[in-house]
Structure 1
């Protein structure tokens, strides 16, 4: 910038690093006193326009006395002003550097312990926990998280080995420190929990209420006791009532004496169909804030790969439009010169890709842009000379129900002797779509005969998840098939 600044900036190789260098530059170039230089530094930090105009005039005037041209003085002032907006004083910067060195050393040599401690400081901040989780599980760090567990977890994250961290019960939304501390205290005093009823019987429902138990089930904290989360979730009320009844009987005495002091008769739970992977992960996200036990696209991968063979990691530029699919993990909407535009991040487990929608493409598809769903995209894939990666521009977007209707040959239903036509009509009617829907083929069989019947185009339906689930609940999973 100027020879007079060489002794000021030499220790930091010509770059302003400390606030003291701003003050020294004001003294050397602008002829400021030490007190005046500190006032200049404060003015730059506050960015007050009128005060900065006056300070610039004083700086240029002082520089002129040392034969420094006005243009050069303004250049130096701009440089000082830009730095002063974010710089630290030297002692502060040194302290930050030391902390950075210490934490980098801990992360490099004791990664599991460091990440467990770091994540424990952000138990209530799901977004930040996700950042730390992604960093910890990145191959360069290679850590693995053990799931939350009422029999093994604590309120905070705990390293159980140099490569493993037990997920914190305190990081589950709706748990609470007092509830978790009570759960842990009871466990350590009288042994691990053996069932949902045992858990409800041994814990204080004033601290561990129904909302807390449901959150723990959603998060998978009871999986080691009973992996069917839907079964546990549906029977929380029953287990709590049974526990209350057991306490009441124990207080009366005599009724359960035959079972001993700590043993109560087993409670038969109401049978419930297990959650499929998609529902299980959606419920898990409600409790944890992100997907912990699996990748959300995996629940749909087999179906999607029936008509889209290429994964996101294997996309290559082509002149013709391509079909691709992934789980929506992020959406950014911006205002550009030609109106609103959106950038959608898709993840299929093999890679993440950003899809751009501009102009009419955005307006037509904007109602379909939602996080945590599978989207099928038809668009142009080309090389991005700026980033060196791929540039993907969407022409059309389908949700999974639309994609099934568009690309599948139809829907096959195996009735297996169930001839309830009225129920079938009631299930299909809300999803009828004569123009874009998929044809329905019914395979009917009984003890005497079997045959296939194709319904007319007027009974074509949108193949939405809700319709498929309703049909599966009625006919069974194996009786409902999409024909590709």
Structure 2
């Protein structure tokens, strides 16, 4: 900003370059840099005014080098974008994902939810499935991926809504049909770049002699990674826990009790005496991002294993 003409390098241009990752070699924290744009422009404008008024040269005559040092840009690292926002800004600017793929941070969780089977493995299984002996027989499937295409239309036969999704998990791509009530219920989720978890049925198309997948329920990944949790296992360094940890933990969890929530177990490890023990908490608990972070903080940043 100090070197260039701010009339040409304006705020909008700077923000676009940050979204695209053009400054990553200078500062990889795009969110903090984006939040500091206004500050950078003001500092640069002051720098240009000082140069125009000759202040830098005047101070230099008296050997006061400290006054000639330009003020530094101050950034807040907590302004960082998560991967989801980073990629959304990148896609909006460039029209594609360049630095990563949305599925990257979700892959391990999606594999757990989809029973350890990615799209390529599902498609391989489908090729080996036997043709049904009775029409109408179907096979339940769970699959997940990022939406790369969503086509909405209305059935000419009955006027019901239809959506055809193409999802990608970097192992393969699969088309899924969403019909009738499901199309109406989940239409807001069926948008490009959303990461979805789909429970559905594979039906055999006798005319084309192939299996087709139709969605029954659809979950957004960012919600489902908590709402579909069955159990959380924490492995904790017992020596790092606060003295009043159990009272604090009880006070934290009591308002979160939920019969439809996740069970929690805590494995305590004490390396100094080479011993460990496990606690199974008596209730199920409602877990979301904030609740999980609170528990991780209380338990001194434990190892966490999720079960779906």
Same fold, TM-score > 0.5, yes or no: yes
| The one of 316, 341, 355 aligned to 2:176 | 355
Is the 8 Å Cα contact of residues 304 and 325 (structure 1) preserved in structure 2? yes
Aligned residue number for residue 204 of structure 1: 5
In the other structure, the counterpart of 1:270 is 76
Task: Kindly tell me the number of residue pairs found equivalent between the two proteins.
Answer: 276
Q: Distance in 2 between matches of 1:213 and 1:299?
A: 28
Shift of 1:222: 0.7
For 1:481, which of 274, 281, 304 is the aligned residue? 304
Of residues 314, 331, 334, the one that matches 2:150 is: 331
State the Cα RMSD in Å. 4.1
- Contact 1:328–1:370 under 8 Å retained in 2: yes
Q: Equivalent residue of 2:139, what SS? A: coil
- Structure 2 stretches of 5 or more lacking a match? 130-137, 271-275
Aligned to 2:232: 410
Instruction: Answer whether contact 2:146 2:194 (CA < 8 A) is retained.
Output: yes
Contact 1:413/1:443 (<8 A) preserved: yes
2:286 maps to: 461
Asked if the contact 2:241–2:300 (Cα under 8 Å) also holds between the matched residues in 1, the reply is no
Q: What do the CA deviations read for 1:446-470 (whole angstroms, capped 9, x no partner)?
A: 9xxx987665546x2244x5665x6
For the pair 1:240 / 2:41, whether they are aligned, the reply is: yes
Q: RCO greater where, 1 or 2, for CA within 8 Å and sep 6 or more?
A: 2
TM-score (norm 1): 0.47
Question: How many Å separate the matches in 1 of 2:9 and 2:294?
Answer: 37
| TM-score normalised by L of structure 2 | 0.70
Q: Is the 8 A contact 1:436 1:462 kept in 2?
A: no
**Cα 1:453–1:202, aligned 2, differ >3 Å: closer, same or farther?**
farther
Matched, 1:439 2:263: yes
The answer for the alignment partner of 1:115 in structure 2 is none
Which has the higher Rg, Structure 1 or Structure 2? 1
CA gap 1:466/1:329 in 2 versus in 1, 3 angstroms: farther
User: Shift in Å at residue 355 of structure 1?
Assistant: 0.9
Secondary structure class of the residue paired with 1:437: strand
Q: 1:310 deviation in Å?
A: 1.6
Q: Is the 8 A contact 2:231 2:264 kept in 1?
A: no
CA distance in structure 2 between the aligned counterparts of 1:220 and 1:410, rounded to whole angstroms: 36
Corresponding position of 1:313: 120
> 2 CA distance for matches of 1:367 and 1:314?
28
Greater helix content: 1
1:221, CA displacement in angstroms?
0.9
Structure 2: distance between partners of 1:202 and 1:267: 15
**1:354-374 C-alpha deviation (Å, 9 max, x unpaired):** 111223433444454343221
